[in-house]
């Protein structure tokens, strides 16, 4: 067992220094016991124990999905899952991080898929149609996404529903690692969101217009003027800018000065 009297400073990451006298708790990292201060996330506890992240750590904010982790509590049969950067370490956790999972990820060209998107899903991800509805993926997802449901929507050809339902996926791969039908849910969902964005979702006409305007060079002079300004003047301009009121009706509000639009 590690020395639990002296609290070591953290050596990597965003350097949360536990308060002096913090209670030490036992955790198990890859089968070995360590004493770490309570209140740390699993990620910080692993670093506290002396490991240095080279992979398996990215944003530290629950967004990138690099730190998928499985754990069990000593004496409890239940396998749990979470993101190491978001889950607080608790006494007697037995932890194993899974920074990568080999999942089906075929190549494709979205341009050719306008007419039969559901058939393309069937061709690229046939395993999606073998889902047995066990719900393990939904119970595993650290983002609380109903993964089984978006897979069911895919099977039924409701690609819009699947794209919207899977939108919060952080691609950690934990769902795929437990699927008895060997489905790579997160990659299939990414494919469906791409298809939806490319061929199904209505195009934003105002964006098209603005991109065309940018290409004409309409804003070049304004950018040059901004780039030549002193930092304090840029800050002042930003702070004093005309802002859209919080309760403005969508699409109705316009600034009084439209000369820069």
Minimum CB distance to ligand SF4, residue 55 (Å): 17
Q: What are residue 80's DSSP bridge partners?
A: 71
CB of 87 to ligand FES, least distance (A): 9
- φ, ψ at 79 (rounded to 5°): -85, 125
Check binding of 133 to ligand SF4 (CB under 6 A): yes
Half-sphere exposure of 246 (CA within 13 A, CB side): 0
The listed partner (ligand FES, ligand SF4, none) that binds 17, CB under 5 to 8 Å by sort, is none
- Distance between CA atoms of 55 and 67, rounded to whole angstroms? 9
Q: In whole angstroms, what is the distance from residue 217 CA to residue 159 CA?
A: 38
Q: Select from 24, 40, 67, 147 the one that contacts ligand FES (CB under 6 A).
A: 67
What are the DSSP E strand ranges found in the chain? Answer: 24-29, 32-37, 68-73, 80-83, 93-97
CB of residue 64 to ligand FES, shortest distance in Å: 3
DSSP state of 202: P
Separation of alpha carbons 70 and 77, rounded Å: 13
| 62 contributes a contact to ligand FES by CB under 6 A | yes
174 binding partner (options ligand SF4, ligand FES, none; Cβ < 5 to 8 Å by kind): ligand SF4
Interaction mask 85-114, ligand FES, x per CB under 6 A: x-----------------------------
From candidates 36, 42, 48, 60, binder to ligand FES by CB under 6 A = 60
In this structure, the strands spanning 68-73 and 93-97 are antiparallel
Give me the residues that bind ligand SF4 (CB under 6 A), please. 65, 131-137, 140-141, 143, 145, 147-148, 151, 169-175, 179-181, 183, 185-186
């Amino acid at each position: 067992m590690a020395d639990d009297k002296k609290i070591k400073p953290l050596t990597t990451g965003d350097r949360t220094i536990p308060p002096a006298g913090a209670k030490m708790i036992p955790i198990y990292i890859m089968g070995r016991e360590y004493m770490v201060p309570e209140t740390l996330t699993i990620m910080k506890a692993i670093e506290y124990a002396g490991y240095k992240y080279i992979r398996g750590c990215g944003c530290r904010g629950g967004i990138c999905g690099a730190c998928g982790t499985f754990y069990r509590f000593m004496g409890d049969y239940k396998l749990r899952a979470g993101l190491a950067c978001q889950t607080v370490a608790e006494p007697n956790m037995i932890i194993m991080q899974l920074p990568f999972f080999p999942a089906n990820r075929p190549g494709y060209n979205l341009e050719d898929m306008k007419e039969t998107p559901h058939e393309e899903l069937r061709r690229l991800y046939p395993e999606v149609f073998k889902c047995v509805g066990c719900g393990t993926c939904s119970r595993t997802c650290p983002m609380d996404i109903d993964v089984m449901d978006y897979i069911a929507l895919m099977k039924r050809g409701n690609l819009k529903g699947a794209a919207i339902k899977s939108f919060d996926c952080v691609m950690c791969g934990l769902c795929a690692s437990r699927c008895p039908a060997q489905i790579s849910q997160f990659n299939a969902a990414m494919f469906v969101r791409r298809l939806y964005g490319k061929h199904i979702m209505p195009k934003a006409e105002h964006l098209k217009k603005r991109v065309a305007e940018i290409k004409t060079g309409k804003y070049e002079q304004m950018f040059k003027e901004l780039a030549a300004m002193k930092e304090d003047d840029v800050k002042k301009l930003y702070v004093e800018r005309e802002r859209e009121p919080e309760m403005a009706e969508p699409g109705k509000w316009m600034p009084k000065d439209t000369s820069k639009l």
